[in-house]
Structure 1
Amino acid sequence: MTDRQNLLPQNATGFECALSESLDRLPELQPGFDELRGFKTAPVQESILPWLVVEYGLGGITQYLPDLASVIEYGLRWQRVKGTPQGVAESLTWVHYAFSTFYEAPLRRTRWHLYELELDRFRDGEDDLATIEAVVRMSDPARSEFYRAWNGYNVREHEWSYTRWGHGIWGDSSGVFLHAGGVKWSFGRTFDAGFHELTEAELTALGAWIEPVEGGSISWGPFPWNTPGLQWVSDAAASRAQIIATALLAKTCWVGVYRQDGSPIGFRKARVYRPVTSLFGGYYQAGGQGWIAAAAPGPNIYVEALMDFAEGDGETVHSW
């Protein structure tokens, strides 16, 4: 009886103290308490994992993780930050994705509760989109909704006084919905096709061929000297490049992409078609170099075209 205790006040009678101590079951139960302490965590027993998943409310994520031990490990960590950007990041790790930008709609917008993600890469497969949508929406804050994700192509809706003309889309942002009520996806892959030096035959067909001149000044010829922006310069090579570029830029540019057998996959009008000059870190990237818009036509013209969603799906571009 020496290990038994009572919690009675000092004025309790001897009988009351003896009765209280006789009802103290701690000495018999203490060994069991010691055994139970920490049994769920160190080490985790395989036999109780299903019950722990139910206890912790992690049944909804079991399909995204390889085993129940991983569900417990990652699920408990996720539950602590669920409803925050970190919770979204945790859930994306289950399906081997991540995001580099967490964009929340400005408070000035009517639908201020929407948020968007810039994923770390172009999706590996179309089936991944439904999985990404499911795991992210499990991490939604109560006040917010996962609305859109993008990678490689992101054009936002135009807002008066907040966006520049040409940098937005009237009334909506880029992307498509795969099903009603789902997330909008906006993906684009960039292909750097490198340089193409126009041949004499190509320039002749375009009506822009000029014979090269060694040194001195280029001689007078049937060139569009009165074209706005064309200036006379003494260097023959620079004059020739300027005249050819001016003649080309006066035309509309289309980009064609072709299969290996030479048959066309499709044609797109260039959305960027302008003279450029090389500059490290320039906002145009081609041929492993950076480029910026040039003040006057010269030897380099930057061309960029945008294929539409699903255009050429499953095809392999061999040439352009």
Structure 2
Amino acid sequence: MITSQIRRLIKPFLLVALSFLLIITACHNSITQKTNISTVKAGAASECRVIKHRLGEACIPLEPQRIVVLDVPAILDSLLALGIKPVGTAVAHFGNDEHGSGNRYFLDLLPELVLGIESVGVEGTPSLEKILKLKPDLILLANQSELAYPQLSKIAPAVLIDTWKDRIPIKENFRQIAKIMGKEKEGEKVLARYQERVLAFKSQLGDRLRSSEISIIGYHGNQFFISHNSSNYHQVFQDIDVPIKPILLKQENYTQISIEKISDFDADILFFTDYNNPSLHLYQYPLILSLKAVKNGRAYIVDGRVWEFYGPIGMNLFLDDISKYLLEGKQDPYFPRRG
């Protein structure tokens, strides 16, 4: 009887004690779990850097080893200029094939720089399967590939660089990429070397073009077009103080023009950026042959792939190219000086 009463008295106490023990245990587990999550986050933060961009943010490795890039002129150029070789790259959207024969200037002029880099398809439509096989730890993309961002970000940390959407100037774009890669000092050294070339070019050029104007007309697929006023070559021509025809500086967008309007863009010196590789038609147009620059032997057909640059390597190749015409006086075989 007494035992029974004791049990009844003890039972509530045991229940309370058990409940208290469960509460303590649960609280301890909860605290432990939160501590582990916090520790994981702290550990991740010490091993990667958070990069915010328009489509979100990515925690990228401090020293990524397997980078895939999806833009040639603005991103691949910049990485190679910094001494960083990615494992994979997209090739030019106007290339002859996905294996790189149209990969702008690299495979034609600097094949050693891209030796061993795998193609992951064409800019704008990269192969997710090829990217996945490369096991990247960082993906860098520009605007033409942003529709694939949701899938790309599941493969590896992916960073969108708004080069083309925001028309970021070449040097600013390069500095942004150098910062993402933690290579700011190296980036400034690269730009300093470019600036030395600019000063040397200006010194050689002197005042010979002070009273002249240059113009640039694009030619691709039997169509003519004018680039916008902040185009890559405009930026370099302005660096070396070469006067650009004012009508070009008023262009806010890429504009297709008819051949009947081509005389509006005639100048003392005229460059045709030809993407047909090689041109078979430009010198056959009577309206082109009637242009002042053509008659004076100051019209030149240049390789559009070399002029489609957007990084330090491309800027230097561009200076190499225009030095042939502006410094060395090279004649174009299709447009020889007359009279």
Taking structure 1 as the reference length, what is the TM-score of the superposition?
0.29
Max radius of gyration: which structure?
A: 1
Structure with bigger RCO (C-alpha 8 Å, 6+ apart): 2
